[in-house]
Amino acid sequence: MSHLVLYIDEWGVVVMIEPKLESQKLVGLPEGEKYDGTLTPGGRLRNLAERLESVHSTDLGVAYRTLPNGRAELVFSDLDGKQVVDIPTPISKEDFNSITKKIIPLEETKFILFELARAYKLRMPIMLEGGTAIGKTFVVNKFANMLYGPKAVIPDFYCSGQTDTSELMGKPVAATAKPEEQQQLSDYLKTDAGAALKAELIKETGGNYEYRELLARAAFDLGLPIDKAKFEFQLGTLPKAMTAQFRKDGSIIYAKDGPGVMLHIQELSLAEPSVVNCLFKVRGERGHLAKSIQLWEHDGRTIEAGPGFFMVYSTNPLGKGFLERHEIDKALARSFVWVKLPEKLSERSLRQATSSIFSFDKISPQSGTIIDLSKEAELGETFGEVMAKFHKIYQEMTERGESGRRQKIPATIDSLWRVAKLVQTVQIPTSNNKSIDMVSTLREAVKGVYTNSLQDGTELGRAEHLNQADVLNLSQSILNAFEQILANATTDLVSFRGKSVTRQEKIEILTKEAFSDESQNQPYAQAEEEAQEEAKKSAAYAGVQSSLIELKKELGEAAFSDIFKSM
212 Cβ neighbours under 8 A, 6+ residues apart = 172, 228, 231
Q: Which residues pair with 66 in a beta bridge?
A: 72
pLDDT at 74 over 80: yes
Query: Rounded distance, CA 153 to CA 369, Å?
Result: 32
Cβ-based neighbour number of residue 456 at 10 Å: 15
Report the alpha-carbon distance of residue 414 to residue 134 in Å, rounded: 10
* 567 or 33, which is more confident: 33
CA distance 420 to 455: 22
Mean pLDDT over each residue of the chain, to the nearest integer: 82
Each residue's pLDDT tens digit, 362-411 = 899 998 899 999 999 999 999 999 999 999 999 888 876 655 555 567 78
Band of pLDDT at residue 128, cut at 50, 70 and 90: very high
* Of 423-437, 486-500, 540-554, the least confident: 540-554
pLDDT-based confidence at residue 191 (cuts at 50, 70, 90):
confident
pLDDT digit string, tens, across residues 543-552: 667 776 776 6
Q: Which residue has the higher pLDDT, 359 or 212?
A: 359
CA pseudo-torsion sign 39, 42, 45, 46:
negative
- 272-286 pLDDT tens trace: 888 898 999 999 988
State how far the Cα of 311 lies from the Cα of 426, in Å rounded to an integer. 42
Query: From the centroid of its chain, how far is CA 241?
Result: 21
Residue 209 has pLDDT above 90, yes or no: no
pTM: 0.77
Confidence of residue 257 (pLDDT cuts 50, 70, 90): confident
Mean pLDDT throughout 93-98?
96
Residue 1: which pLDDT band, with cuts at 50, 70 and 90? very low
Residues 238, 278: contact at Cβ < 8 Å? yes
Torsion over CA: 274, 277, 281, 283 (sign): positive
For residue 72, the tally of other CB atoms under 10 A from its CB is 16
Per the model's pLDDT, the better-predicted residue between 492 and 364 turns out to be: 364
Mean pLDDT is lowest, of 6-15, 83-92, 120-129, for 6-15
- Mean pLDDT along residues 247-260: 86
pLDDT of residue 15: 36
In the chain, what is the straight-line distance between the N-terminal and C-terminal CA atoms, in Å? 90
Phi and psi angles of residue 412, each rounded to the nearest 5 degrees, phi first: -130, 180
